[in-house]
Structure 1
Amino acid sequence: MTTYVYGIAAADRKLPDDIRGVGDPPRPVRAVRSGDLVALCSDAPTELRPRRSDLLAHQHVVIEAAKDGVVLPLRFGGISPDDETVAAILDERHDRYVEGLEKLAGRDEFNVKVYHDEEAARQAVLADEPDLMTRYAAERAAGGDSHDSAAFGELVARAVSERGKSDAALVEDVLAPHAAAVARGPEAAGRLADLSFLVERERRHEFEEALRGLHREHAHLRAQATGPLPPYSFVETD
């Protein structure tokens, strides 16, 4: 039976006796120790797929373990041939894992996805670029033919797209001073940025207030924050 790994912690980490992880039925979680480190593991299902129930089970194990101290969370799907291999890896990468635990102590991840409110962004661009506003007013007054209207629409769309790049940088610039680290996620159509922030728990209120300030001062932005989360984006386990 192969071994599924949820995360890494100090060897004195205690887990609830009845905690269970991935699989159907859910597998009981056990500790695989090597020196002063422990890997949180269970038997791996024969077929592991990113089903909602298993994703939530993985997250639950990490969150429960983190209640007693810092955990290096592995992303969903980490499988090793057996417990002995897991223990050997803990020993081989001991210093790296200890450094990672120290880096994450007392810190959580907040993920912020940034979008435009399309109409508000359009109005912001027209307000900030007088030449576009003049053309826009002239188009509306004259009625404009479909070709001119389409051309103007394309001009505004390009301006909004360019604004998106500066808005993504703005969000990072505003929030980054309140975090210990920032990680940029993948690009996606319609999304300006996917940013993860490593936030010290004692500075959480400060970070959240900066986020509220963004909403107040930039009505054309939609910044959707999720957290606190296990700091997946700030772990190097390979």
Structure 2
Amino acid sequence: MSTYVYGITRAGHPGLPEELTGVGDPPRPVHLVRTGELSAIVSEAPEGLRPKRRDLLAHQTVLSEAGAGGAVLPMRFGSVSPDDEAVHTVLAEREKHYLERLDALEGKVEYNIKASHDEEAVLHHVLGSNAELRALSEANRAAGGGTYEQKIHLGERVAAAVQAQEKHDGQLVRQVLEGHAEDTNPGPESTGWLANVSFLVERDNSAPFTEAVDALRREAPHLVLQVNGPLPPYSFVE
């Protein structure tokens, strides 16, 4: 039977709640595999496991329960080893590295921030902060909308200003929030996001971090900030 791995912690971890279960239908009992100074949090891996909501939540619940007792290096959903013996081997081979990462992540959580623009609000912001664009827009309006060439010219200028604002705001999000974090890790770039950044935050500093997010929302209402956290520090496991 294959072994499903939720995360890695120290052998001195106080343990898991009794009858804690994980992925699968029926849910598989969770236990620890100990080697040297490390323990892996595991269960049997069900066949044909897919990222269904039930199993995604079960994975997250196991990590949350384990994280309440000490630092845990979280594994991504779907991490499967051939068996418990293979887990023992990996723990032994990478013991030094995992212990260093556990030290680095002790007492820390991850917040992922994705930023985008409210399209109507950013247009108002760009026009409101650029006198030249306002003058062009007002001239076109006074001329009944302007000629085709004038409309194209204004549209190009506005598009360029919005693009510049996107770059500025993407940098702003990171600059404002990284002062409240121990580390940052940019996520994959994707269409629609000005920024996609994970922040490693001291658990005790979570409130100041989220307050900084709220302050940024107030100061830049054209920004839409999507917050996911606190999470196990997936992006900082290495």
Match of 2:218 in 1: 216
With 60-69 and 117-126 compared, the bigger mean Cα shift is at: 117-126
The one-letter code matched in structure 1 to 2:205 is R
SS of the aligned residue for 2:179 comes to helix
Cα shift at 1:129: 2.1
SS of match in other structure, 1:64: helix
Counterparts of residues 1-238 of structure 1 (less than 5 Å): 1-13=1-13, 14-143=15-144, 144-146=146-148, 148-236=150-238
CA–CA distance in structure 2, aligned partners of residues 132 and 207 of structure 1 = 36
1:123-177 deviations in Å (ceiling 9; x for gaps): 1111222221111111111122455324422331232122101101001000001
Calculate percent identity across the aligned residue pairs: 52
- Deviation, 1:202, is 2.2
Which deviates more, 106-115 or 11-20?
11-20
Letter in 1 for 2:233: P
The whole-number CA distance in structure 1 between the counterparts of 2:27 and 2:118 is: 42
Q: RMSD of the TM alignment (CA)?
A: 1.3
Q: Tell me how far apart the structure 2 counterparts of residues 36 and 223 of structure 1 sit (CA, whole Å).
A: 40
Whole-Å separation in 1 of the counterparts to 2:52 and 2:35? 31
CA offsets 1:51-102 (integer angstroms, 9 cap, x no match): 1111111111100101111100011111111100101100100011001111
Point out where structure 1 has 5 or more consecutive residues left out of the alignment: none
Task: Name the TM-score, length of structure 2 as normaliser.
Answer: 0.95
Structure 1 residue 24: deviation in Å? 1.4
Q: TM-score, normalised by structure 1?
A: 0.95
Structure 2's unaligned 5+ residue stretches are none
Q: Distance in 1 between matches of 2:193 and 2:130?
A: 23
* Deviates most, 118-127 or 33-42: 118-127
Tell me the alpha carbon deviations over residues 192-213 of structure 1, each in whole angstroms, 9 at most, x when there is no partner: 1111111112222221221121
Aligned residues: 236
> What code does the residue aligned with 1:205 have?
A
Residue 211 of structure 2 aligns with an amino acid whose one-letter code is E
How far the C-alpha of 1:41 sits from its partner, in A, is 0.6
Separation of aligned partners in 2, 1:170 and 1:221: 11
Distance in structure 2 (CA, Å) of the matches to 1:47 and 1:146 = 59
For residues 40 and 141 of structure 1, the distance between their equivalents in structure 2, rounded to whole angstroms, comes to 69
Over 6 Å off, 4+ runs: none
**SS, match of residue 185 in structure 2:** strand
